[in-house]
Structure 1
Amino acid sequence: MDVHIKNILNDLKKDDFQAYMLTQFTNVEYISNYKPTSFAFCVIKDNPVIYASSMDMEIARRDSDIEVREYESYEVMIKELRKEGIKNLAIEPSLPYSTYVRFRDDFQIDSKTYVDKQRMIKTPEEIGKITKATEIAQKSFLQLDILNNSGSENEVAFDLVRHMIENGASKESFDTIVASGPSSSLPHAVPQDKKLQRPILIDWGAIYEGYCSDNTRTMVYTEKQHEIFDIVKESHDKAIKAIKPGLKCCEIDKVARDVISDYGYGDKFIHSTGHSLGLDIHETPGFSLRDDTVIEKGMVITVEPGIYLEGEFGVRLEDTIEISRKGNVIGDLPLIID
């Protein structure tokens, strides 16, 4: 039996639950190696089972490491689980309410983050896939020759995604951000049909064998842009240097935030310092003020401080960090793009 399933079964036993139900696609994939295209119910118990839609049965039977049954109805599922003596059911917090109400009358239910706990620590194989996704994304970025590009934000974003796919990615890991000029002060800017202005901020990532990468680089030009860049770079570098197992995630956020605050821009750093990634682009834990998760070996978390001056410009620098005895940057893309 898969080690993650064994660990979840141990958690269930400790909390006196008999089964754990998942519907989130990447959680089902993480547990079974089968990624739904329609819908699926993965029930982790002593004999785990997936109820897959008829449209997915071929791919589910091909890929799943655990038993697959064709979904017939909620009533059939409930009847089969009750027949096994299951009276209480843990669910993932993201389970839709419309699904929860189908089960609440038949089971004692509570939400648990058992699978999130498993996904926090990446295996060497998972880290290898994240590393490959990062290599693809960084190689593709360098192919843009961004400093000599005369295209629009839209065109640059399109070209970057095309390069990533040509270099082996299945797709982009999130909507690619190309923001230039005043738009760069928007952390989640959407590329526009306008010629590149300055500075140029690009936030992008690739997916390789299901696993995501994430980087941000900002190309600066004026004296003030360079000044802000240097502050963000100092925050980025000091945060990474501070990472080690045993510290809390919020302590790393404080390191990054204190640097920017000391220069008088604390109120211009308007998001957390970083997030975990894996099968999803945003996972837990993250480097934020409110996350007191203890850092462990095997975690993979981004560091991405930024300063955003409304109506002027923004600067963000982001790398993905694999944690062993210290924080190791994945990839070798320079922070300063010449």
Structure 2
Amino acid sequence: MQIKENNIHDFHINNILKKLDQKDLDAILVANFNNIYYLSGYLSTSFAFLVLKENPIIFVSEMDLENAKNNSSIDIVKYESFEKMVEYFKEEEIRNLAIESDLTANVYDKFKDFNLTISDVISTERMIKSDGEIKKIMKASDIAHKSLIELDVRAKQEKAALEWECAYELAYLMRKNGASAESFETIFASGLVSSLPHSTPRHHILDTPVLVDYGCKFEGYCSDTTRTFIYTEKQEEISSIVLEAHDKAIDAIKAGAKACEVDKVARDIITEYGYGDNFIHSTGHSLGLDIHENPSISLKDKTVLENNMVLTVEPGIYLEGEFGIRIEDMVLVDKKAKLIGNLPQIL
């Protein structure tokens, strides 16, 4: 997608307006911070409401006005009250109003007199990444991968470091190397708790194996990687199965394939080895400004993959009372999947 980044907001807005018009919707009310940022370049620190129509406008809290003036490509006005917003909508003759699915009940109630329709038009637009977005995701990946190498997990394990210490140091290294934040709270799970896909780092000396699921943000865009450091023959056996599912799933990713088909490839391989019941989550997901975006690489998601989608592939096997193994990478969808980053799958 060859679009100059200074024109990217207009490009997305025009696409969304066309889709709203096709559904006879006059405007969409946007309250999700990342969606507002996606369309305007302004990331709210308080609250804001973007009214996306032919001449879009953002209602901004007074404490955020300077921030919005410096960053928004869309006209802004100071938010005064919901009553003023409703009055504005009526003046603009907005009747059929789209809203986001995560709009709070309190805000929904303020606009209930309009003909409201829940729309996924923005999340659908966000599935396809621009060249600029892809570069930011790749940079976030580079920072994260460099930081994990610098951490040296095996050396930490030999020194009897604690899980929480390693998670904290990895977050520090990512910031030191250029990240603005973690994509999510780092998972640093060892020993028995590695069988918990979302374990929380403990005040506990590193056991084996060590599963690290982590990522960072660069200019708002996320990375997401998992590596499992293995130490025993049984762990190596399970790791080889997970890696085979990981590699074959990536091979199945291409423009035109369905998300559910990719999940099935990974799931079938793990099932053939007898561990189907131990693969307890989807094979992956999209990501961008949010760590989880559409589509999901799951059996139920029939989304047809398109060029410039960015996806994770993260099969895992979890043996309760023993350990868990997960290997995760990000890929860019094209004629075939392009692996993002060059961090070895086995470290």
1:2 alignment partner, SS class: helix
Following superposition, the deviation at residue 94 of structure 1 comes to: 1.0
> Residue 259 of structure 1 aligns with which residue?
269
Distance in 1 of aligned mates of 2:53 and 2:155: 57
Distance in 2 of aligned mates of 1:220 and 1:53: 51
2:55 alignment partner, SS class: coil
1:121 is aligned to 2:128: yes
Distance in 2 of aligned mates of 1:145 and 1:252: 32
Following superposition, the deviation at residue 63 of structure 1 comes to: 0.4
1:86 is aligned to 2:94: yes
One-letter amino acid of the counterpart of residue 17, structure 1: L
Following superposition, the deviation at residue 221 of structure 1 comes to: 1.1
Distance in 1 of aligned mates of 2:153 and 2:16: 46
Q: TM-score, normalised by structure 1?
A: 0.99
One-letter amino acid of the counterpart of residue 13, structure 2: I
1:244 is aligned to 2:279: no
1:115 alignment partner, SS class: helix
One-letter amino acid of the counterpart of residue 209, structure 1: E
Following superposition, the deviation at residue 208 of structure 1 comes to: 0.4
> Residue 148 of structure 1 aligns with which residue?
155
1:204 is aligned to 2:214: yes
Alignment of 1:278-297 (within 5 A): 278-297=288-307
> Residue 10 of structure 1 aligns with which residue?
18
1:28 is aligned to 2:36: yes
1:112 is aligned to 2:122: no
> Residue 39 of structure 1 aligns with which residue?
47
Match of 2:335 among 325, 332, 338: 325
Following superposition, the deviation at residue 148 of structure 1 comes to: 1.1
One-letter amino acid of the counterpart of residue 128, structure 1: K
Following superposition, the deviation at residue 81 of structure 1 comes to: 1.1
Distance in 2 of aligned mates of 1:13 and 1:144: 51
1:68 is aligned to 2:104: no
Q: Deviations over 1:36-88 (max 9, x none)?
A: 01111011001000001111101011100001011000000010111011111
Gaps of 5+ in 2: 1-8
Q: Deviations over 1:97-131 (max 9, x none)?
A: 111111012x1001000101110000011000000
Following superposition, the deviation at residue 286 of structure 1 comes to: 1.5
Match of 1:300 among 296, 305, 310: 310
One-letter amino acid of the counterpart of residue 327, structure 1: A
Distance in 1 of aligned mates of 2:95 and 2:251: 49
Distance in 1 of aligned mates of 2:185 and 2:49: 28
Distance in 2 of aligned mates of 1:22 and 1:257: 37
Percent of aligned positions that are identical: 54
> Residue 215 of structure 1 aligns with which residue?
225
Match of 1:169 among 179, 184, 187: 179
> Residue 190 of structure 1 aligns with which residue?
200
One-letter amino acid of the counterpart of residue 199, structure 2: A
Q: Deviations over 1:212-260 (max 9, x none)?
A: 0000000111111111000000000000011111111000000000000
> Residue 311 of structure 1 aligns with which residue?
321
Distance in 1 of aligned mates of 2:40 and 2:276: 44
Distance in 1 of aligned mates of 2:64 and 2:207: 46
> Residue 53 of structure 1 aligns with which residue?
61
Gaps of 5+ in 1: none
Distance in 1 of aligned mates of 2:190 and 2:125: 39
> Residue 180 of structure 1 aligns with which residue?
190
1:132 is aligned to 2:142: no
> Residue 334 of structure 1 aligns with which residue?
344
Distance in 1 of aligned mates of 2:105 and 2:280: 31
1:238 alignment partner, SS class: helix
2:311 alignment partner, SS class: strand
Question: Which of 133-142 and 145-154 deviates more?
Answer: 145-154
Q: TM-score, normalised by structure 2?
A: 0.96
Following superposition, the deviation at residue 325 of structure 1 comes to: 1.1
Distance in 1 of aligned mates of 2:278 and 2:152: 30
1:232 is aligned to 2:242: yes
2:226 alignment partner, SS class: strand
Number of matched pairs: 336
Distance in 2 of aligned mates of 1:243 and 1:87: 42
Distance in 2 of aligned mates of 1:160 and 1:49: 40
